[in-house]
Structure 1
Amino acid sequence: MDLLEGLESLQFEYGMEEEDRSWLYLQGRSRGLMIKACAHATFFCKLLYNLRKSLPKKETSRRPLSRSLDNTPDDDEFKVGIIGGGHLGKQLARVLLRLVPIPVQKLRISTRRPEALDEFQKLGIQCSYNNSRLVNWANVIFLCCLPSQLSNICSEIQTSLEKACIVYSFVAAVPIPRLKLLLNHTNILRPQYQCFEGFVNIWGANKEIVAALQDPSILQATCPYDPTGGITLNIKWLEGVFYAMLNICTATNMPHPNALQLLNELFLSVHFEGCEKDRESCPKFKLKDVVSKVYANNLSQGRPFPWFDLTAVQLRETPFSQHLLTSTVLRDHLTHLYCDLFGISLTKEQQPVVSMGSPTQ
């Protein structure tokens, strides 16, 4: 419910000079960026949660992805940490709790002002100021801090980061190579967004982010391939997500054929109308789509995939790059998967316009 509806004098733009109204698009852009950032983080967490549920118990117990400081036997469970309790950190926490959903005991927040997070503490979420402890506990860390704070935070947490812990950075001003250097870590994801003027603002004004992501038109505009709303995502991020899932399998010492089968089930299990009649035409990930031909020829059947440097994946061409670029049917399946994870089913006619984005930044 919009409490300001019909109250013109209380609207943000009331009283603005005519020459200043040309800048109002920045308000829509800022909101669009927030909605897209939360949507893509939710998509990633949903995939990771589903993958971890599919891992054989004997594999996760053999080599846990992270250790818990609390000495509790839940190392095979999905644990998320957020560093930064500002506007983005709070919005992200709300979305993950509602839409993934992450149990309150599996989400923790580290911020310099934990007393300002009373809303989350009442829910039972642990809010403190101990970045190093949070990193040691979590499987995924979201960096929602200011660029000026990042250097100190990285120096605090780099010795506590385990190889398999995924760092997901929203700090747009700090590029991936710099992050890799600051953290001495390769398991990093960083979405990169590009904005352009002259777009139709479809992001709404006063709707909560959780509610916005349950609006089919807004959710479809957040699809990785959809430029609607004036914001595009560098599609290399999607490659990073794919290889991050493979790293999870590698961390459990899973043979690569099993890992490929799991990835096919995870990414390609949602079909659109045309697929129902001809499943043989549906894409399937093969070994050559993941590693080079030379490496594939020398990879024995029982061996896991190598450990992938996610920073390199997002900056360079990979075998998966060409597969993603040339296969329209693969992109269709990924788009339908994206919407399905948010509870929306698309027909073929509703397929968003494809925008591959810039390869690097």
Structure 2
Amino acid sequence: MRPVSERFLDAIRGSHEAVFSATVVAPGQTGVAPTGTDITIADGDVTLDGTAQVRSTLELTTSGTLWPVRATDLLAPYGNEVFVRRGIRYTIGLTEWVSLGYYRIDSTEQDDAPDGPIRVLGQDRMAGIVEGRLTAPRQFAASTTRGALLSALITEIYPWATIEWDSTGVRDAAIGRQILVEEDRYAACAELVKSVGRIWWWDHRGVLVVRTPPLSTEPVWEASHGQLGVLLDLGRRLTRVGAHNGVIASGEGADTAAPARALVVDATRDSPTQWGGRFGKVPRFYSSPFITTDGQAWTAAASLLMAELGLPYSVDFEAVPNPALEPFDTVRLRYRGRSEVHVIDRLTVPLTVEQPISAATREQTTTLLGGA
């Protein structure tokens, strides 16, 4: 969850004044206080999806007077970004803001020209990495560090990019095998990150972070019915479609090194998805040339499996907005005598006071990982 005060979390549960801000900025800024030109917000939302290539997308409606005529105009889709935030105003002059990140302007639409409202659609900075395919193959020596490889591919698109790893040891270790990246820049970066059991995204500060997936079962927030409750609506479903209870990770390159391999399964006794139990054996296969040891294969497989377990039982809910929530946050849902802990996969944060936050989750389970 993005950093907020206890006062902020308490205010959500009562009457409060929500405020919103959108600023058009030149590309390349980071932090939660960039400089630029403020624009009005008539409607819109930010959607965050922890399973998507581009984690965050923006849809915003603003004044019809800002239609771009020149390539240098504010809302022209030629590089400008929109920095968005939502907050709570406690008193005049005292507002606590939560940054929702930076969004490259992808398109500008006006259904009722020339004076009707303008709809701005944007994506976070990962869109540039996805689009920025290599024009010629790149070869990296086995001695290249993971951090250097990722930085080389990212800074070719964003020379000003800030990249943060949660482990200098992982970042500074050599890739261990000669790697050839042919066309797909994003795929190469994603494979590198997955191979060391990490996830990556452009965060609310405009920083590219490489992190271990959160595994805590301690909820960061509670949504409930009743007095001081924030839960407005809830639906649930059970499905095994797309669910796995084991991951086989392997690594093999163009060299003569023996292939690395590991199988990690749900070994929790009485788990509904226990490997070899009533659920069966449903493995997912993952292969990457960045995996060079069996230990690394285990780490990658365990990370991928933990990100999937809980999928058979999922919940969609709407609540009074808490804009600090993010994908992979753990939340407690209390409703009609039940208390469940869930992990957020996707959520939509509105940019108006009329709409609730909506989220899709999977149940958090305590899982023992083992081999088979």
The normalised TM-score by structure 1 is 0.26
Q: TM-score, normalised by structure 2?
A: 0.25
